[in-house]
Structure 1
Amino acid sequence: MARPFPVQKTTMPTNVERKWYLVDATDKPLGRLATRIALLLQGKNEPTWTPHIDSGNFVVVINAEKVKLTGKKLTQKVYYHHSGYPGGLKSKTAKQILETHPERLIELAVKRMLPKTIIGRHQFKRLKVYAGSEHPHQAQKPEKVELL
Protein backbone atom coordinates (compact mmCIF):
# COMPACT_ATOMS: atom_id res chain seq x y z
CA MET A 1 0.00 0.00 0.00
CA ALA A 2 1.39 3.36 -1.01
CA ARG A 3 1.69 6.17 1.48
CA PRO A 4 -0.66 9.09 0.86
CA PHE A 5 2.11 11.67 1.40
CA PRO A 6 5.79 11.41 0.53
CA VAL A 7 8.21 11.21 3.45
CA GLN A 8 10.08 14.48 3.83
CA LYS A 9 13.65 14.59 5.06
CA THR A 10 14.90 17.33 7.35
CA THR A 11 18.51 18.32 6.83
CA MET A 12 20.57 19.45 9.79
CA PRO A 13 23.62 21.69 9.43
CA THR A 14 26.58 19.69 10.71
CA ASN A 15 29.56 22.00 10.29
CA VAL A 16 28.98 25.71 10.75
CA GLU A 17 30.99 28.20 8.70
CA ARG A 18 31.29 31.37 10.78
CA LYS A 19 31.68 34.69 8.99
CA TRP A 20 33.24 37.87 10.33
CA TYR A 21 31.30 41.12 10.06
CA LEU A 22 32.55 44.67 10.68
CA VAL A 23 30.03 47.22 11.94
CA ASP A 24 30.69 50.96 12.27
CA ALA A 25 28.66 52.46 15.15
CA THR A 26 29.20 56.09 14.16
CA ASP A 27 25.97 58.09 14.66
CA LYS A 28 23.82 54.93 14.85
CA PRO A 29 21.02 54.72 17.46
CA LEU A 30 22.06 52.28 20.18
CA GLY A 31 18.93 50.12 20.24
CA ARG A 32 18.59 49.69 16.51
CA LEU A 33 22.28 48.89 16.21
CA ALA A 34 22.10 46.34 19.02
CA THR A 35 19.14 44.45 17.53
CA ARG A 36 20.89 43.98 14.22
CA ILE A 37 24.13 42.91 15.91
CA ALA A 38 22.20 40.38 18.00
CA LEU A 39 20.67 38.89 14.84
CA LEU A 40 24.12 38.52 13.26
CA LEU A 41 25.53 36.90 16.42
CA GLN A 42 22.66 34.40 16.53
CA GLY A 43 22.97 33.60 12.82
CA LYS A 44 19.34 34.40 12.08
CA ASN A 45 20.38 35.97 8.79
CA GLU A 46 21.50 32.54 7.54
CA PRO A 47 19.09 30.19 5.73
CA THR A 48 20.29 27.25 7.86
CA TRP A 49 19.36 28.84 11.22
CA THR A 50 17.90 26.51 13.82
CA PRO A 51 17.25 27.54 17.43
CA HIS A 52 19.13 24.65 19.08
CA ILE A 53 22.34 24.95 17.02
CA ASP A 54 24.77 27.81 17.53
CA SER A 55 25.24 28.92 13.93
CA GLY A 56 26.12 32.55 14.65
CA ASN A 57 28.86 34.74 13.30
CA PHE A 58 31.60 36.99 14.67
CA VAL A 59 30.83 40.71 14.85
CA VAL A 60 33.46 43.44 15.26
CA VAL A 61 32.07 46.85 16.24
CA ILE A 62 34.24 49.93 15.84
CA ASN A 63 33.72 53.56 16.90
CA ALA A 64 31.64 52.63 19.94
CA GLU A 65 32.35 56.04 21.45
CA LYS A 66 30.34 57.69 18.63
CA VAL A 67 27.12 55.74 19.18
CA LYS A 68 24.03 57.91 19.42
CA LEU A 69 21.40 57.94 22.16
CA THR A 70 18.22 59.77 21.19
CA GLY A 71 16.11 62.01 23.38
CA LYS A 72 17.21 62.48 26.99
CA LYS A 73 18.59 58.95 27.33
CA LEU A 74 22.15 60.20 27.74
CA THR A 75 21.32 61.72 31.13
CA GLN A 76 18.17 59.85 32.17
CA LYS A 77 19.00 56.24 31.25
CA VAL A 78 20.42 54.56 34.35
CA TYR A 79 22.31 51.25 34.48
CA TYR A 80 22.21 49.36 37.79
CA HIS A 81 24.31 46.56 39.24
CA HIS A 82 24.50 45.10 42.72
CA SER A 83 27.61 44.05 44.62
CA GLY A 84 25.76 41.35 46.53
CA TYR A 85 26.16 43.07 49.88
CA PRO A 86 23.45 44.98 51.77
CA GLY A 87 23.25 48.50 50.39
CA GLY A 88 25.41 47.51 47.43
CA LEU A 89 23.19 48.84 44.64
CA LYS A 90 25.32 50.90 42.26
CA SER A 91 24.05 53.07 39.45
CA LYS A 92 25.57 54.98 36.53
CA THR A 93 23.99 57.03 33.80
CA ALA A 94 24.61 56.30 30.13
CA LYS A 95 26.71 59.47 29.89
CA GLN A 96 29.05 58.27 32.68
CA ILE A 97 29.48 54.89 31.00
CA LEU A 98 30.05 56.48 27.59
CA GLU A 99 32.82 58.70 29.02
CA THR A 100 34.67 55.92 30.86
CA HIS A 101 33.99 52.66 28.94
CA PRO A 102 32.05 53.33 25.69
CA GLU A 103 32.24 49.67 24.65
CA ARG A 104 30.07 48.62 27.58
CA LEU A 105 27.00 50.46 26.29
CA ILE A 106 26.89 48.32 23.16
CA GLU A 107 27.89 45.16 25.03
CA LEU A 108 25.11 45.58 27.59
CA ALA A 109 22.49 46.34 24.95
CA VAL A 110 23.43 43.31 22.83
CA LYS A 111 23.88 40.94 25.78
CA ARG A 112 20.37 41.68 27.04
CA MET A 113 18.93 40.88 23.59
CA LEU A 114 20.55 37.45 23.32
CA PRO A 115 18.97 34.30 24.79
CA LYS A 116 19.70 33.70 28.47
CA THR A 117 21.06 30.20 27.84
CA ILE A 118 24.41 28.52 27.28
CA ILE A 119 24.07 29.16 23.55
CA GLY A 120 23.47 32.87 24.23
CA ARG A 121 26.62 33.07 26.36
CA HIS A 122 28.66 31.46 23.55
CA GLN A 123 27.17 33.88 21.04
CA PHE A 124 28.07 36.88 23.21
CA LYS A 125 31.72 35.79 23.32
CA ARG A 126 31.90 36.33 19.55
CA LEU A 127 31.14 40.06 19.92
CA LYS A 128 34.22 42.30 19.77
CA VAL A 129 33.63 45.99 20.54
CA TYR A 130 36.25 48.74 20.24
CA ALA A 131 35.96 52.43 21.16
CA GLY A 132 38.09 53.70 18.28
CA SER A 133 38.36 52.86 14.61
CA GLU A 134 41.27 50.41 15.03
CA HIS A 135 40.78 46.70 15.72
CA PRO A 136 43.14 43.69 15.81
CA HIS A 137 41.01 41.44 13.57
CA GLN A 138 42.32 42.49 10.15
CA ALA A 139 43.62 38.97 9.46
CA GLN A 140 40.06 37.55 9.55
CA LYS A 141 39.05 39.95 6.73
CA PRO A 142 35.70 40.99 8.20
CA GLU A 143 32.98 41.87 5.73
CA LYS A 144 31.78 45.46 6.23
CA VAL A 145 28.06 45.60 6.94
CA GLU A 146 25.87 48.70 6.75
CA LEU A 147 23.09 47.96 9.21
CA LEU A 148 20.92 51.08 9.02
Structure 2
Amino acid sequence: MDTLSFKTYSAKPSDIEKNWVLIDAEDQPLGRLSSEVAKILRGKTKPTFTPHMDTGDNVIVINAEKVKLTGKKMTDKTYFRHTFYPGGERFETAAEMLEKDPTSLVTTAVKGMLPKTKLGNKIATNLRVYAGPVHPHTAQEPEIIEL
Protein backbone atom coordinates (compact mmCIF):
# COMPACT_ATOMS: atom_id res chain seq x y z
CA MET A 1 0.00 0.00 0.00
CA ASP A 2 1.20 3.44 -0.88
CA THR A 3 1.19 5.87 2.05
CA LEU A 4 0.51 9.49 1.34
CA SER A 5 2.07 12.14 3.53
CA PHE A 6 -0.23 14.98 4.41
CA LYS A 7 0.90 18.05 6.26
CA THR A 8 -1.42 20.20 8.31
CA TYR A 9 -1.23 23.79 7.09
CA SER A 10 -0.19 26.32 9.70
CA ALA A 11 -0.16 29.98 8.74
CA LYS A 12 2.97 32.02 9.36
CA PRO A 13 2.79 35.73 10.21
CA SER A 14 4.06 36.53 6.69
CA ASP A 15 1.19 34.49 5.13
CA ILE A 16 -1.59 36.37 6.92
CA GLU A 17 -3.49 38.85 4.77
CA LYS A 18 -5.94 41.05 6.65
CA ASN A 19 -8.82 42.63 4.73
CA TRP A 20 -11.42 45.17 5.83
CA VAL A 21 -15.09 44.15 5.91
CA LEU A 22 -18.17 46.36 6.37
CA ILE A 23 -21.39 44.92 7.80
CA ASP A 24 -24.68 46.82 8.15
CA ALA A 25 -26.50 45.78 11.35
CA GLU A 26 -29.79 47.45 10.43
CA ASP A 27 -32.73 45.07 11.13
CA GLN A 28 -30.36 42.14 11.73
CA PRO A 29 -31.03 39.80 14.68
CA LEU A 30 -28.30 40.40 17.26
CA GLY A 31 -27.23 36.77 17.74
CA ARG A 32 -27.05 35.88 14.07
CA LEU A 33 -25.14 39.08 13.29
CA SER A 34 -22.73 38.50 16.17
CA SER A 35 -21.94 34.91 15.25
CA GLU A 36 -21.13 35.87 11.64
CA VAL A 37 -18.96 38.78 12.81
CA ALA A 38 -17.13 36.50 15.26
CA LYS A 39 -16.44 33.96 12.48
CA ILE A 40 -14.99 36.67 10.23
CA LEU A 41 -12.90 38.15 13.09
CA ARG A 42 -11.53 34.73 14.01
CA GLY A 43 -10.68 33.92 10.38
CA LYS A 44 -12.84 30.82 10.10
CA THR A 45 -14.19 31.95 6.72
CA LYS A 46 -10.71 31.73 5.18
CA PRO A 47 -8.93 28.59 3.94
CA THR A 48 -5.79 29.74 5.80
CA PHE A 49 -7.44 29.50 9.24
CA THR A 50 -4.98 28.58 11.98
CA PRO A 51 -6.39 28.20 15.52
CA HIS A 52 -3.44 29.78 17.35
CA MET A 53 -3.01 32.79 15.02
CA ASP A 54 -5.00 35.95 14.33
CA THR A 55 -5.88 35.20 10.69
CA GLY A 56 -9.21 37.07 10.64
CA ASP A 57 -10.23 40.31 8.98
CA ASN A 58 -10.92 43.75 10.43
CA VAL A 59 -14.69 44.19 10.77
CA ILE A 60 -16.63 47.46 10.76
CA VAL A 61 -20.23 47.24 11.97
CA ILE A 62 -22.47 50.25 11.21
CA ASN A 63 -26.03 51.06 12.34
CA ALA A 64 -25.58 49.21 15.65
CA GLU A 65 -28.44 51.24 17.15
CA LYS A 66 -30.87 49.59 14.68
CA VAL A 67 -30.04 45.99 15.60
CA LYS A 68 -33.05 43.77 16.25
CA LEU A 69 -33.87 41.55 19.22
CA THR A 70 -36.75 39.09 18.83
CA GLY A 71 -39.53 38.49 21.31
CA LYS A 72 -39.35 40.31 24.64
CA LYS A 73 -35.56 40.24 24.83
CA MET A 74 -35.28 44.02 24.66
CA THR A 75 -36.92 44.33 28.10
CA ASP A 76 -36.32 40.88 29.63
CA LYS A 77 -32.71 40.10 28.68
CA THR A 78 -30.34 41.32 31.39
CA TYR A 79 -26.59 41.82 31.27
CA PHE A 80 -24.53 41.32 34.43
CA ARG A 81 -21.34 43.02 35.54
CA HIS A 82 -19.60 43.43 38.88
CA THR A 83 -17.76 46.49 40.18
CA PHE A 84 -15.39 44.27 42.26
CA TYR A 85 -16.62 45.97 45.42
CA PRO A 86 -18.78 44.16 48.00
CA GLY A 87 -22.39 44.20 46.86
CA GLY A 88 -21.28 45.57 43.49
CA GLU A 89 -23.55 43.51 41.25
CA ARG A 90 -25.06 45.59 38.44
CA PHE A 91 -27.79 44.43 36.09
CA GLU A 92 -28.83 46.20 32.90
CA THR A 93 -31.48 45.32 30.33
CA ALA A 94 -30.77 45.28 26.60
CA ALA A 95 -32.97 48.38 26.15
CA GLU A 96 -30.98 50.30 28.78
CA MET A 97 -27.68 49.28 27.15
CA LEU A 98 -28.94 50.33 23.72
CA GLU A 99 -30.07 53.69 25.10
CA LYS A 100 -26.86 54.43 27.02
CA ASP A 101 -24.34 53.19 24.43
CA PRO A 102 -25.73 51.64 21.23
CA THR A 103 -22.41 50.04 20.31
CA SER A 104 -22.02 48.14 23.59
CA LEU A 105 -24.81 45.66 22.81
CA VAL A 106 -23.13 44.44 19.60
CA THR A 107 -19.63 44.58 21.09
CA THR A 108 -20.66 42.51 24.13
CA ALA A 109 -22.40 39.91 21.99
CA VAL A 110 -19.42 39.49 19.63
CA LYS A 111 -16.83 39.38 22.44
CA GLY A 112 -18.87 36.67 24.14
CA MET A 113 -18.43 34.51 21.03
CA LEU A 114 -14.64 34.89 20.88
CA PRO A 115 -12.13 32.77 22.84
CA LYS A 116 -11.52 33.88 26.43
CA THR A 117 -7.73 34.02 26.00
CA LYS A 118 -5.00 36.50 25.12
CA LEU A 119 -5.64 35.67 21.46
CA GLY A 120 -9.35 36.42 21.92
CA ASN A 121 -8.51 39.82 23.41
CA LYS A 122 -6.21 40.57 20.46
CA ILE A 123 -8.87 39.49 17.95
CA ALA A 124 -11.46 41.73 19.66
CA THR A 125 -9.34 44.80 18.81
CA ASN A 126 -10.09 44.16 15.11
CA LEU A 127 -13.78 45.00 15.67
CA ARG A 128 -15.08 48.54 15.15
CA VAL A 129 -18.73 49.24 15.95
CA TYR A 130 -20.53 52.50 15.11
CA ALA A 131 -24.05 53.54 16.12
CA GLY A 132 -24.89 55.31 12.87
CA PRO A 133 -24.17 54.81 9.16
CA VAL A 134 -20.99 56.95 9.17
CA HIS A 135 -17.54 55.48 9.88
CA PRO A 136 -14.00 56.90 9.54
CA HIS A 137 -12.54 53.89 7.69
CA THR A 138 -13.31 54.78 4.07
CA ALA A 139 -9.57 54.94 3.28
CA GLN A 140 -9.29 51.20 3.97
CA GLU A 141 -11.90 50.53 1.21
CA PRO A 142 -13.84 47.88 3.16
CA GLU A 143 -15.64 45.11 1.29
CA ILE A 144 -19.39 45.26 1.97
CA ILE A 145 -20.87 41.96 3.16
CA GLU A 146 -24.61 41.24 3.11
CA LEU A 147 -25.86 38.92 5.84
* Both proteins in one fold, TM over 0.5: yes
Match of 2:33 in 1: 33
Q: Give the equivalent residue in structure 2 for 1:122.
A: 122
Q: What is the number of equivalent residue pairs in this alignment?
A: 145
Q: Structure 2: how far apart are the matches of 1:74 and 1:10?
A: 45
CA shift, 1:4, in A, is 4.2
Secondary structure (helix, strand or coil) at the match of 1:91 reads strand
Letter in structure 1 aligned against 2:57 = N
1:64 Cα deviation (Å)?
A: 0.3
Task: Tell me the SS of whatever aligns to 1:115.
Answer: coil
Q: Who is 2:97 aligned against?
A: 97
Alignment partner, residue 144 of structure 1:
144
What is the Cα-based RMSD across aligned positions, in Å? Answer: 1.2
* Pairing of 1:50-69 with structure 2 (within 5 A): 50-69=50-69
1:6 aligns with 4
1:6-53 CA deviation, whole Å, 9 max, x = no partner?
A: 333444322210010000000000000000000000000000112112
Partner Cα distance (1:119, 1:29) in 2: 27
Q: Which amino acid aligns with 2:11?
A: P
Can you give the 5+ residue segments of structure 2 that lack an aligned partner in the other structure?
Answer: none
Partner amino acid for 1:119? L
Letter in 2 for 1:7: S
Structure 1: distance between partners of 2:76 and 2:7? 53
- What is the identity percentage for the equivalent residue pairs of Structure 1 and Structure 2? 52
Q: 1:95 Cα deviation (Å)?
A: 0.4
Deviation of the 1:76 alpha carbon: 0.4
Supply the AA of the counterpart residue of 1:145.
I
Unaligned runs of 5+ in 1: none
Q: Summarize deviations over 1:36-85 as a string: whole Å, max 9, x none.
A: 00000000000011211210110000000000010000000111111111
